[in-house]
Structure 1
């Protein structure tokens, strides 16, 4: 796991052809919008969250964010334990995100 600043995250994500963006916030939180093309997996779902992670391709690079960076850090540590090699946490979360946000219908 690596913590990335907003700039590092956006730069690295733009260059990574193997990237997947994960939003680990709650359903209520994603109603405020998401980073474009993100997949939503709620970390508060416990074992269901882990089961959903297990279905992901461990060969891809995962860029993980939450509201402030804490839960996404936890998610990254869980992913490390599950054998994911390339996991990146967005420092400051979506609260500090300067890029695009898409509304969720």
Structure 2
């Protein structure tokens, strides 16, 4: 096992960043729930041909993934408190 194994997961030959393991399970679960809803909204909007709604849903996907640490700054390079604050802020924005 290399150090990168803790940071990345490989699915179907593609490397993806893992979610931040420091996030409390309730916070991570809430972000994953919002991520799933946003992904679903992208599909609904695309099928309806609503480009504005699809773009808004994609922004919510991006926000949830940033909160989970899957996008944005590398979570393993930041202090835990900064990571937790980013996740909480993302959840607040998603719920607003």
TM-score norm. by structure 2 comes to 0.27
| Structure whose CA Rg is larger | 2
Higher helix share: 2
Larger RCO: 1 or 2 (CA < 8 Å, sep 6+): 1
TM-score w.r.t. the length of structure 1 is 0.25
Structure showing the higher strand proportion among its residues: 1
